[in-house]
Each structure stands twice: as structure tokens, then as C-alpha cells.
């Protein structure tokens, strides 16, 4: 008989209790969810003494290039507030890029935006996705974050702001829109 009594109590009080917990959780989530928009510039060198983006693997016997299927790049670009090389550094864009399409038109991007400036120091945003090499604007997902960007979700776009093939130097504008919990 005690089993039936417990079962009846559970049936009567558990649904309202779960509803209350869900409502409180939803209210807290809505009050601390924040949207942040950032414009960052990657200072990208693919040759020379300041190299920050280099091919590290590829298909044997084939030229390693960003359009050659299977070529893997490692990147550690300075991330600045403005497009000029002398702009204040706010962090590093560190990760890998893989030429992932047989026709050379797409790159798989896995990049961490590692912030070192005062406001976001120690925080990161994790970018991942398929970047269409020859599109003027390329979009990838923001799949995670740490520190000030904990539980971040959103998107980032890349645009080639400046390109000098003679010196292998490029400036990539990265526009980031994320929603995250405000800590």
C-alpha cells in the first residue's frame, strides 16, 4: 500500500514541480543571455619572416596550395582592432584549415579566436565550418566559447580586406555575431 501512496504522490506533485523548475531556468536564461558583435582583422602572412599561415601537409607529389585537395594549413594570425598592421592587437586567430573539396573551392576551417585584450582577456570563440574560397563573403559557425563567451553560439563572416600577392600578405576582416551567457 505504501507503494501506491508514493506513486500517487509522485503523479500529483512531480509535473507541477518540473514545470516550476523549467520556468525558473527559462527566466534565468532569458535575463543573462547577451548578444555581442565584433569586427576583427587577421594579419595573415603566408611567406617571409613573419609567416603566420603555413601548409604543413598535403598529397605527395602535388603542390601544397589552398586550392589543392588535402592540403592542411596551420595558422596563428595576429588579431587586431583595425585593418592596419600597426592597429592594437586584441588576440590571435589560431587553428587549422584544410582544402576539403576535390575541386579546390572549399576549405574546412577550425579556428580559435584567443583574446588577450583587457575586456575579453583569456576568453575564446571557436569557429568551424565550410569556407567557400572564392566567395567575397565566407560564413562559418561559432560553435562554442570560453570565459566571457561561455556557451557562445552564432556565426562569423570572413572578407578579404586587403591582399598583396607579391608579399604574401593579406588582411582578413572577421565579423562575429554571438549569443552567450553574460558572466
Tell me, what's the pLDDT at 181? 84
Q: What is the mean pLDDT of residues 122-149?
A: 96
What number of H helices and E strands is found in the chain?
Answer: 1, 9
Each residue of 59-89: pLDDT tens digit?
999 999 989 999 999 999 999 999 999 999 9
- Tell me the pTM: 0.81
Q: For the chain, what are the domain ranges? A: 34-181
List own/partner pairs for 112-115 with CB under 8 A and 24 or more apart: 113/40, 113/79, 113/174, 113/176, 114/79, 115/79, 115/90, 115/91, 115/147
Work out the widest C-alpha separation in the chain, in whole angstroms: 86
Each residue of 18-56: pLDDT tens digit?
555 555 555 555 558 899 999 999 999 999 999 999 999
The superfamily (CATH) of domain 34-181 is Allene oxide cyclase-like (2.40.480.10)
Amino acid at each position: 500500500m505504501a507503494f501506491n501512496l508514493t506513486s500517487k504522490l509522485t503523479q500529483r506533485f512531480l509535473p507541477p514541480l518540473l514545470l516550476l523548475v523549467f520556468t525558473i531556468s527559462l527566466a534565468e536564461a532569458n535575463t543573462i543571455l547577451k548578444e555581442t558583435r565584433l569586427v576583427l582583422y587577421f594579419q595573415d602572412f603566408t611567406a617571409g619572416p613573419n609567416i603566420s599561415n603555413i601548409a604543413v601537409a598535403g598529397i605527395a607529389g602535388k603542390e601544397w596550395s589552398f586550392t589543392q585537395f588535402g592540403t592542411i594549413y596551420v595558422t596563428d594570425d595576429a588579431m587586431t582592432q583595425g585593418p592596419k598592421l600597426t592597429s592594437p592587437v586584441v588576440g590571435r586567430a589560431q587553428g587549422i584549415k584544410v582544402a576539403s573539396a576535390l575541386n579546390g573551392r572549399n576549405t574546412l576551417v577550425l579556428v580559435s579566436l584567443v583574446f588577450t585584450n583587457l575586456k575579453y582577456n583569456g576568453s575564446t570563440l571557436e569557429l568551424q565550418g565550410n569556407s567557400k574560397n572564392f566567395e567575397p563573403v565566407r560564413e562559418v559557425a561559432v560553435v562554442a566559447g570560453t570565459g566571457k563567451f561561455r556557451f557562445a553560439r552564432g556565426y562569423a563572416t570572413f572578407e578579404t580586406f586587403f591582399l598583396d600577392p607579391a608579399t604574401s600578405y593579406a588582411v582578413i576582416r572577421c565579423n562575429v555575431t554571438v549569443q552567450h551567457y553574460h558572466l
